Amino acid sequence: MTLEEEISAPQRGRGLLRAIFRSRNLTIGLFVLLLAIGMAVVSEFWTPYPPNALRIRDKLQGPSLAHWFGTDHFGRDVFSMIMAGARNSLEVALTAVAVGIGIGVPLGALAAARGGWIDGFVMRLTDLAFAFPALLTAVIVTAIFGPSAVNAMIAIGIFNIPVFARVTRGAAMGLWKRDYVLAARCAGLGDAAITWRHILPNVNHVLIVQATIQFALAVVAEAGLSYVGLGAQPPQASWGKMLSDSQTYIYSAAHLAIFPGLAITITVLGLNLLGDGLRDLLDPRVRRQR
Amino acid sequence: MTSYVLGRLFALLLTTLAASLIVFLLMQILPGDPAAVMLGVNAQPETLAALRTKLGLDQPLWTRYLDWIGGFPFGDFGVSHTYSTPISQLLAPRIMVTLPLALLSMAISVGVALPVGVYAASRRGKPGDFLSMGAAQIGVAIPNFWLGLLLILFFALHLRWLPASGFAGWEDGLWRGLRSLILPALALGLPLAAILARVTRSAVIEALGEDFIRTARAKGLTSRAALWRHATPNALIPVATIVGMQFSFLLAGTIIIENVFNLPGVGRLIFQSIAQRDLVTVQSLVTLLAACVIFVNFLVDLAYGWLDPRLAAGGGR
Amino acid sequence: MSAPLLELDGLTVALGTGGVELLSGLSLVLERGERLGLVGESGSGKSLTALAIMGLLPEQMRVSGGLRFAGDDLPALPEERMRRLRGRRIAMIFQEPMTALNPVMSIGAQIAEGRRLHLGESRAEAEAVARRLLDRVGLPGPRFDLGLYPHQLSGGQRQRVMIAMAAACGPDLLIADEPTTALDVTVQAQILDLLDEIVEETGAALLLITHDLGVVSETADRIAVMYAGRIVETGATEEVFARMAHPYSQGLFAASPYGLDLRRAPGGPRPRLKAIPGMVPDPARRPAHCVFAERCGFVQPDCLRISPRLAPLDSGGARWPHLAACLHPRAGGLAP
Ligand SMILES: Nc1ncnc2c1ncn2[C@@H]1O[C@H](COP(=O)(O)OP(=O)(O)O)[C@@H](O)[C@H]1O
Ligand code: SF4
Ligand SMILES: [Mg+2]
């Protein structure tokens, strides 16, 4: 950092504060993500109670030492259900993002590499896709193929395709004009080889950041679909489903509405912080102006 | 200018048509014969065939498409299978719920985000900035349907200020109707406001670093006046883009929020139609929603010309 | 005798209290109607001097020493009073006409803004004045409508708008920071002429900042050469040009196309431009001895021990003394 740069940061002390704050994004984000993954993995082997065990006798209890987050209307342990719900959330979101990357990135790379009518076509297609609100697309898709966690993955994934196509195209466009790409082309490399060796490695960082953001959006979308009954089906535990069940007992058992919502919010918050932190880390251009 | 707007309108029409075609084709994949669904499992084959003819289901695909879309310019969106009512009649009262809800949410989003974003930018790096942006960070992460539940818990059940669910209708005066929309609008609008506040902040910070701010200060403007009169108008350009995108979020959000608050709106109608396999209704409503989104984006494009003279068509050099 | 219009008396600007000095002990006096040229390489502190006078230095910079305007101690002035001086009595023209105007505000509104603010004029009154100002700076209506936006004008035209803006409230002091640097050569002369006329008509004092010696020689009565945050030579323009007592002034001269043309023997070959070796030292790394010693062709052992102060030379005129901060000032003329 030259003196001039150092000085134009607002003020020494505050600069430090901001630096800590920035790296803190990464720290908190990673911590939350690992926590969620940890819960999901552990829930496969162990939960305090079996998440589906009905014990009507213990129904609608508030938080206690025996049941940290209380019990629901069937007497199921809310904490255990949240652990099991983590698996469902992460699984759906991960698949959805993978679908988006798997189809969107090649599409965007193709548009950038070929330009011309192919580019125009891909762009119009994404324009069109954006005319349908994401959640609406998901609602229609799940409606067509029937409500299930798998269909929720596909539905959310479909919306991710144009997002990744756009981002990839945008980042790759400029690279195609770079000298080293021209040089590679002179050396006889084809479009596919150049894309693989020179373009994709250089758009990686943008994709990672976008993937984090989309992952967060997918967690919310999954919860939303499950909330309206189009996502995970019983007996699979799901945060969104828990929230919709809670609504019936909102007068008597508010805790049922609190904990699943907290789980979603904290997970999404962590992922967003992770995205912000990664962007600061990977993209030096935005680091200055934020 | 006029030819520019006409050209854009034409492109808009084409996009809407393309969208309608996609929706139409998608609906054809939908499993389940709507006629069979309507008549139930024990229907006689003859009655089924008669109903299929009546619904036009035995026509070729493209005739059905043209028949369907051809009615749109005249406000004829087809007839709902389940209600046996023209869709336009189903729509009318529900739009009176969903449209005010959407507008109110948008107003909340913009009304909260602009002052907060500009404030945070002006206090960049100071406690006020961290506090408001921390709140925004959380706001972005809260799903609107959960926020809805929290609002119900607090304002409806605990404080008993506002109704927890349902819609009182507009017949008993503006306030009665509006009261039932306040919590849903907050649930929809606040998370959007959080996103918009972050965008506003960074746009204003960027504008504050521009040379013309120094010029304005050199003219004798207070830093406050330079912030509001010079930086903010420049920052509105990126903000408008996000506002346009948010409208699409918002329309989708109504589907869920109308469920949370049990509001008889368009979103719920779509949702119910899907559940009841009411093909034509879903098809028409989704197409209308897409048209809305496309139209709002068109309005945002027009607003650009107004916000940014550099983009104004016919501005001349 | 009334106080001078602008008086810098050991003006020092540092990063934070006791931090790195960006400007060190600047002293100069500017009277009404005078034109002072402030020259120096980029990075020597010219713009900071201007911003210090405007009271618009970045937050983290601290001002010490004397800085008075019409007797008022500017750094001690409450922000509200300082603000009322800005644009009203001290106006400034910036280097980059492309970015110094607000792109989403019409030029009419931008010119009128100052008058509405300081003189409380109505929109119509201020716009009538703006119209006259635009006519005056060579942008006549109806071709140059008040409703035009900056992007509809060329660089030179925008700089004319900047001049109209600066002149709007009839300031006593006009600071022009490299007003022609960003412009095409063909336009530069026109803008300088315009600036000259405006100053002439309004009787304002002009502080003209530039790195172009040709520009000062035409416009300024007096010149101050800046290097590494201090004034190293000052005096009447002809006297400074005739003697170039400070080796840095000589180097600046030898490095400018303007100086080159003056040195060229009639019909003779064009001599090569001689860039001064090295760069302006970073403010954090300025030596305690003569700041120019590392780049000076005439450096002596004592130059590495002592930091020379501005001292009068015998070549000084009656009105303005000729001063230089050099232990071994040149006798006269340019070194070959
Ligand atoms: N905002 C700032 N923060 C820290 N240092 C600065 C800042 N602006 C200018 N400087 C430093 O002050 C010195 C003088 O800058 P400036 O007045 O812009 O020079 P000039 O106008 O003569 O080219 C330079 O060394 C520069 O690095
Ligand atoms: S004091 Fe010495 S080193 Fe400094 S400018 Fe004069 S001759 Fe050069
Ligand atoms: Mg400068």
> Which of A11, A130, A132 best probes binding to B when mutated, by most B CB atoms within 10 angstroms?
A132
Q: What is the pLDDT of residue A22?
A: 57
Report residue A93 as tokens: 């979101």
Neighbors of chain A by Cβ distance (3+ pairs < 8 Å): B, C
The ipTM assigned to this model is 0.88
Q: Across the interface, do A216 and B141 touch by the CB < 8 Å criterion?
A: yes
Q: What is the pLDDT of residue A262?
A: 92
- Taking the Cβ of residue C148 and every Cβ of chain A, the question of whether any pair is shorter than 8 Å is answered with no
- Of C53, C26, C43, the C-alpha closest to C205 is C53
Q: What is the pLDDT of residue B315?
A: 41
Q: Mean pLDDT throughout A162-178?
A: 87
Say if residues A177 and B62 touch (Cβ distance below 8 Å): no
Q: Mean pLDDT throughout C319-333?
A: 86
**Which residues, in sequence order, are bridge partners of residue C233?**
C225, C324
Given pLDDT bands bounded at 50, 70 and 90, which one contains residue B231?
Answer: very high
> Scanning the structure block, which residue is given the tokens 């897409």?
B290
Residues whose beta carbons lie less than 5 angstroms from ion ligand 3: C 47
Which helix (H) or strand (E) is B243 found in, with range?
helix B232-260
Q: What is the pLDDT of residue B38?
A: 67
CA-CA distance, B11 to C234, in Å (whole number)?
Answer: 67
Q: Please report the beta strands in B203-288, taking only residues with DSSP state E, as ranges in sequence order.
A: none
Q: What is the pLDDT of residue A20?
A: 46
pLDDT at residue A265 is higher than 90 = yes
* Residues A20-56: tens digit of each pLDDT: 455 678 888 888 899 989 888 888 888 777 777 777 7
- Taking the Cβ of residue C121 and every Cβ of chain B, the question of whether any pair is shorter than 8 Å is answered with no
Q: Mean pLDDT throughout B45-66?
A: 81
pLDDT at residue A76 is higher than 50 = yes
pLDDT at residue A6 is higher than 60 = no
Enclosing domain of residue A245: 24-289
CA-CA distance, C292 to C44, in Å (whole number)?
Answer: 12
Given pLDDT bands bounded at 50, 70 and 90, which one contains residue B120?
Answer: very high
The CA distances from residue B98 to B73, B104, B112, B266, in Å, are: 22, 10, 21, 6
pLDDT at residue C235 is higher than 50 = yes
Atom of ligand 2 nearest to the CA of C298: 7
CA-CA distance, C102 to C151, in Å (whole number)?
Answer: 10
* Residues C170-220: tens digit of each pLDDT: 999 999 999 988 888 888 888 999 999 999 998 899 999 998 888 888 889
What is the rounded (10 degree) CA torsion for B198, B203, B206, B209? -110
Q: What is the pLDDT of residue A285?
A: 55
CA-CA distance, C201 to A157, in Å (whole number)?
Answer: 70
Cis ω for the linkage preceding C150 (within 30 of 0): no
Pick from A3, A8, A11: CB nearest C282: A3
> Which of C92, C104, C119, C148 best probes binding to B when mutated, by most B CB atoms within 10 angstroms?
C104
Given pLDDT bands bounded at 50, 70 and 90, which one contains residue B102?
Answer: very high
Q: Across the interface, do C114 and B219 touch by the CB < 8 Å criterion?
A: yes
Domain-embedded: residue A103:
yes
Atom of ligand 1 nearest to the CA of C280: 25
Where does C6-220 sit in CATH, by number? 3.40.50.300
pLDDT at residue A288 is higher than 60 = no
pLDDT at residue B197 is higher than 80 = yes
Q: Mean pLDDT throughout A253-267?
A: 88
CB under 8 Å to B305, separation ≥6 — which residues?
B311, B312, B313
- Of A21, A12, A288, B235, the C-alpha closest to C58 is A12
Worst-scoring range by mean pLDDT, A262-266, C58-62, C184-188? Answer: C184-188
Q: What is the pLDDT of residue C207?
A: 96
Q: How far apart, in Å, do the first and last CA atoms of chain C sit?
A: 46
DSSP H helices, chain C, are 46-54, 79-85, 107-119, 123-136, 155-167, 185-202, 213-219, 237-243, 247-254, 257-263
Q: Mean pLDDT throughout C216-244?
A: 91
CB under 8 Å to C4, separation ≥6 — which residues?
C29, C30, C31, C68
Q: Across the interface, do C165 and B210 touch by the CB < 8 Å criterion?
A: no
Given pLDDT bands bounded at 50, 70 and 90, which one contains residue B295?
Answer: confident
Domain-embedded: residue A5:
no
Question: Residue B317: its chain C contacts at CB < 8 A?
Answer: 152
Q: Mean pLDDT throughout A102-122?
A: 89
Q: Across the interface, do A8 and C58 touch by the CB < 8 Å criterion?
A: yes
Q: Across the interface, do C16 and A12 touch by the CB < 8 Å criterion?
A: yes
CB under 8 Å to C246, separation ≥6 — which residues?
C225, C232, C233, C292, C324, C325, C326, C329, C330
Q: What is the pLDDT of residue A289?
A: 41
* Residues C248-286: tens digit of each pLDDT: 998 888 877 776 666 666 666 666 667 777 888 888 888
Distance C95 CA to ligand 3 centre (A): 8
Q: Mean pLDDT throughout B154-182?
A: 81
pLDDT at residue A253 is higher than 80 = no
* Residues B244-292: tens digit of each pLDDT: 888 888 888 888 899 889 899 998 898 888 878 787 888 899 899 888 8
Distance C47 CA to ligand 3 centre (A): 4
Which has more pLDDT, A215 or A277? Answer: A215
Q: What is the pLDDT of residue A287?
A: 44
What pTM, to 2 d.p., does this model score?
Answer: 0.84
Domain-embedded: residue A140:
yes
Any atom of ligand 1 within 6 Å of the Cβ of C46: yes
What's the number of domains chain A is made of?
1
10 Å Cβ neighbour count for A252?
Answer: 9
CATH number at residue A241: 1.10.3720.10
* Residues B104-116: tens digit of each pLDDT: 999 999 999 999 9
Pick from A3, A10, A12: CB nearest C283: A3
Worst-scoring range by mean pLDDT, A156-160, B37-41, B59-63, C234-238? Answer: B37-41
- Asked: is B91-275 a CATH 1.10.3720.10 domain? The reply is yes
The CA distances from residue C242 to C62, C246, C259, C332, C333, in Å, are: 37, 12, 11, 7, 6
Domain-embedded: residue A257:
yes
Domain boundaries, chain B: 2-74, 91-275
Give burial (CB, 10 Å; 0-12/13-18/19+) of A278: buried
Q: What is the pLDDT of residue A10?
A: 42
CA-CA distance, C166 to B229, in Å (whole number)?
Answer: 19
Give burial (CB, 10 Å; 0-12/13-18/19+) of B106: buried
Q: Which residues of A123-150 are buried (b: 16+ CB within 10 A; e: fewer)?
A: bebbbbbbbbbbbbbbbbbbbbbebebe
- Of A157, A160, A184, the C-alpha closest to A108 is A160
Given pLDDT bands bounded at 50, 70 and 90, which one contains residue B184?
Answer: very high
* Residues B27-42: tens digit of each pLDDT: 777 666 667 766 666 7
